[in-house]
Amino acid sequence: MGTLRLRLALWHALALSVILAVFAALIYGVVRDQLIRHHDASLTGTARSVERILSSEADCETLTDAQRGELERLGPLVLVHEVGGERRVFFESADKRGLNVLIGSKPDEAAIPTSGRFEMLGTEAEPIRLYSEPYKSRSGRSGLIQVAQGLGEVPLPLATLRLALLLMSPLAVGLAALGGYGLARRALAPVAEVTRLAREIEAGSLNRRLPLPRSQDEIGSLVTTLNQMIGRLEAAFEAMRRLTADASHELRGR
């Protein structure tokens, strides 16, 4: 019985561990995604501002001082357009924060996305959110706007969440294992009592029956089945006793 209780408790703990692992991964993924996407509206707004500034002139091949000043105030930017079929960087802010990771030394080799897209750059400790969006000037020249924003405040809450999940999950599994063991012990206690009473019934006391439990559950069905089996044994022993007595009487009569 102790082994069965232990197995039930271990299975309970294992099932809870899997559920907690999936739940923790989902929570972490959702929180991380929300923290990152919190900056997306700001990035797309900056891209709209860039388009407005560039549209103030028919073409952006040569930016005016006023345009450069406005673009510089928008934050980390890299702007690319086509010149003679090749892509060239025509503006980059003083603080690029890794925007050249995508543009690189040969911007003409980087594919221009067909629609706006978000990407993650940098490291886990210093993540950067990048938004890339294609555009066309009024003269028809195509280009690419890339806007970035540092996510310096994101790693700390994520690290705190990871620590909380790592600390709470083993504690929850341990408590669940203890609780599962206690529940299994309580659930199997009637079986232990039935086993003890059944051992006390011998050949000379087949008229005894096991007491029926109050609840008609699996234990009740087991007790009913055992009582029926004891009744059949009693009937068989009684028939054997009568047969033996009859045979003995006939032998004495001869």
Please spell the DSSP secondary structure of 191-246, one letter per residue: HHHHHHHHHH--GGGTT--PPPPSS-SHHHHHHHHHHHHHHHHHHHHHHHHHHHHH
pLDDT of residue 112: 60
pLDDT of residue 254: 61
* Mean per-residue pLDDT of the chain: 76
- What are the pLDDT digits (tens) for 85-126? 566 777 777 766 555 544 443 444 455 667 788 888 777 777
pLDDT of residue 105: 37
Instruction: Say whether pLDDT at 241 is over 50.
Output: yes
Q: What is the Cα–Cα distance from 125 to 252, expressed in whole angstroms?
A: 104
Top-level class of domain 40-150? alpha beta
Interval 114-139 mean pLDDT: 80
Angle (deg, nearest 10), helices 155-200 and 218-253: 20
Please spell the DSSP secondary structure of 140-190, one letter per residue: --EEEEEEEEE-TTSHHHHHHHHHHHHHHHHHHHHHHHHHHHHHHHHHHHH
Residue-range domain boundaries for the chain: 1-38+155-187, 40-150, 201-254
pLDDT of residue 160: 87
pLDDT of residue 1: 47
* pLDDT band, residue 224 (cuts 50/70/90): confident
The 3-state DSSP class for residue 29 equals helix
pLDDT of residue 253: 64
Better-predicted residue by pLDDT, 46 or 202: 46
Per-residue CA distances from 251 to 242, 245, 247, 254 (Å): 14, 10, 6, 5
- What are the pLDDT digits (tens) for 140-152? 777 778 777 777 7
Interval 71-96 mean pLDDT: 72
- What are the pLDDT digits (tens) for 159-213? 888 888 888 888 888 887 787 777 777 777 777 777 777 776 765 666 677 677 6
H/E run at residue 36: helix 2-37
